[in-house]
Amino acid sequence: MEHDKKIALVAHDNKKRDLVEWAKYNRDLLAHHEVYATGTTGEILEHELGFRITKLQSGPLGGDQQIGAKIVNNEIDFLIFFWDPLEPMPHDPDVKALLRMAVVWNIPIACNRASADFMISSPLMDGEYDRLVPDYEGYRTRKIEHGEGTDQGAGDSAEGRA
């Protein structure tokens, strides 16, 4: 990771106020990083913080997946995601996929104010960091056994999706 980090800020509706308060408190620290956010959260943050936020789609409209893709492509260094554990989300599979990508690609994740405080105040925030990225080449090149009489490719079978 470079000195200036690429930070994704995401919040569910019931957590937007918490994220905005946290971001305002940490405005000066966030200002020298590249900040991304989903939908309405990005609009609110840009207005409240007074600096440019790269705004993606709203979470339910694909914003969570956009951030997940940026994680895979090494375009997001860490994720601050204030999600609401008490509210069922119609896009819950997208939320799980986003959190999964953060773990798969070994980027730091903060899911509440306390963990975000610890992360943003870490001495690692102001320097370069050599993040260990797992080597998935063995997984990518593994041999997939196909059942007799099927025309399915590796990605099309139930085993390929597991």
Length of the chain: 162
- Tell me how far CA of residue 143 lies from CA of 103, 136, 155, in angstroms: 24, 14, 12
Q: Please, is 161 exposed, middle or buried when counting C-beta atoms within 10 Å of its C-beta (0-12, 13-18, 19+)?
A: exposed
Q: What are phi and psi of 54, to 5 degrees?
A: -75, 115
| Cβ–Cβ < 8 Å for 79, 112 | no
64 part of the active site: yes
Cβ contacts of 140 within 8 Å, gap of 6 or more: none
Q: List 78's β-bridge partners, or say none.
A: 7
Catalytic residue among 64, 77, 126, 135: 64
Say which residue the tokens 């690609």 belong to. Answer: 105
Give the catalytic positions in this structure: 64
